[in-house]
């Protein structure tokens, strides 16, 4: 079945450091790929997505490129801020029988940014 593997955390960085969170996937067909972010005590918010190979999703300074040849969708940000501290989930989307789409999530990577 489909699966998503992302690097374990917590990842601790100083403010303005460069961030990479690795994500690789296993899937049949051509899934869409997503990064969601969860701030403490809140639900998941879509951060960015890419729906086909070589697409780059970007939002709030974060970027990720859909690499089919390496089955990866690594999340990057050039300069993190304390406000970026959260848990980041990589996910792939698959069609469900009867309609709709199912997200398969990685286990999440906690990011802590310190001053």
Partner 1 sequence: NAGVTQTPKFQVLKTGQSMTLQCAQDMNHNSMYWYRQDPGMGLRLIYYSASEGTTDKGEVPNGYNVSRLNKREFSLRLESAAPSQTSVYFCASSAVFGQGAIGNTIYFGEGSWLTVV
Distances (CA, A) of 19 to 9, 37, 63, 80, 93: 13, 14, 10, 7, 24
Q: Which of 101, 39, 102, 37 is nearest to 64 (CA)?
A: 37
Instruction: Name the β-bridge partners of 12.
Output: 112
Site for partner 1 contains 89 (CB under 8 A): yes
Site for partner 1 contains 51 (CB under 8 A): yes
Q: Which of 83, 82, 78 is nearest to 58 (CA)?
A: 78
Nearer to partner 1, 34 or 73 (CB): 34
Tokens of 109: 């990577």
Query: Among 10-18, 29-37, 56-64, 71-79, which window interacts with partner 1 (CB under 8 A)?
Result: 29-37
Nearer to partner 1, 20 or 45 (CB): 45
Residue 49 beta carbon to partner 1: minimum distance, rounded to whole angstroms: 7
Looking only at residues 64 through 83 of this chain, which bind partner 1 when binding is defined by CB under 8 A?
none
Residues that bind partner 1 (CB under 8 A): 4, 31-32, 34, 36, 42-46, 49, 51, 89, 93-103, 105-108
């Amino acid at each position: 079945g489909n699966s998503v593997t992302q690097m374990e955390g917590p990842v601790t960085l100083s403010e303005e450091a460069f961030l990479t969170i690795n994500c690789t996937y296993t899937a049949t067909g051509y899934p869409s790929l997503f990064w969601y972010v969860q701030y403490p005590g809140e639900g998941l918010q879509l951060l960015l997505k890419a729906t086909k190979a070589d697409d780059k999703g970007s939002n709030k300074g974060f970027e990720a490129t859909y690499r089919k040849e390496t089955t990866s969708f690594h999340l990057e940000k050039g300069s993190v801020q304390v406000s970026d501290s959260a848990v980041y989930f990589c996910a792939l989307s698959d069609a469900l029988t009867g309609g709709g789409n199912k997200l398969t999530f990685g286990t999440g990577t906690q990011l802590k940014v310190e001053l």
